[in-house]
Amino acid sequence: MQPESVEHVDGKPIRWYREPKSGVRLFRLEGRYAAQPTAAMNATLAQAQWREVSRWLGCTDVGGEPGVDGGVEGKPWLGRDYVSYEWQASWSCAGAAHPDFGTAGHSFDAHTGRELKLDEVLRPGSGPIPPEDSDRWYGYRAQTFAPAVVLLLQQYHPQEMQPVDPDGEECDYTDPEVWNFPAWRLTPEGLWLGASFARVMRACDGPDWPVLPWSTLSVKPQ
């Protein structure tokens, strides 16, 4: 990885690193957090960067050119208690059914350096969360989590959550299915959730407005 210049974000220094062949670029933390969590977050960031390099190397388009393009969207958020960033990518790999794009958010506890999971950040209901990727977990996401997200968004974003014509071509954010497995990241305002639609409606994915305030979350700024 080639180190680049230091940039200050939210008053904290970060250094960007670029992998020369792919051009994949991601930051590392340079200070203002304790040493152990900084090392843990930087190790996870390095792994994430190499994972994106691997995806770049493994995807060429029909013309033999690189088929993946992606990077950090906007600025990372370097809060006192949490660190997060959003990665946006598009890909068109030869042999795949169709081109596609997607968003992935990453959020860390700045006091431990651990990357957080959505189920610990937003926990509707009172029961335990089933083990991830189990049949019960998929059922929980569809039957408990997603309907709760719809109710919360209707409470905090009533204008955007107006019902739509079921036979029309509008983005229906009242459909719980689009919230089963959302992209997400922590922000200064709370939790941003990115809806995920079927391919024919992919333009509806990830609007900016679905943010739930900290008061609705299981994690809180200290």
In Å, what is the CA distance from 66 to each residue of 17, 21, 49, 57?
20, 11, 17, 8
- Calculate ∠ Cα 143-149-151, nearest 5°: 100
Pick from 9, 8, 42: which is nearest to 26 by CA? 42
Alpha carbons within 13 angstroms on the beta-carbon side of residue 58 total: 7
Q: What pLDDT, in 10s, does the model give residues 59-112?
A: 777 777 777 777 888 899 999 999 999 998 876 787 676 667 678 899 999 999
Hey, what are 29's tokens? Answer: 């933390």
Higher pLDDT, 84 or 197: 84
Q: Of 46-50, 108-112, 218-222, which gets the smallest average pLDDT?
A: 218-222
| Class (C level, CATH) for 2-109 | alpha beta
- At 99 the pLDDT is 66
pTM to 2 decimals? 0.87
**Is pLDDT at 199 greater than 80 in this prediction?**
no
Domain residue extents for the chain: 2-109, 118-216
CA distance 151 to 181: 16
In Å, what is the CA distance from 111 to each residue of 40, 72, 83, 84, 185?
10, 23, 10, 13, 17
- At 22 the pLDDT is 86
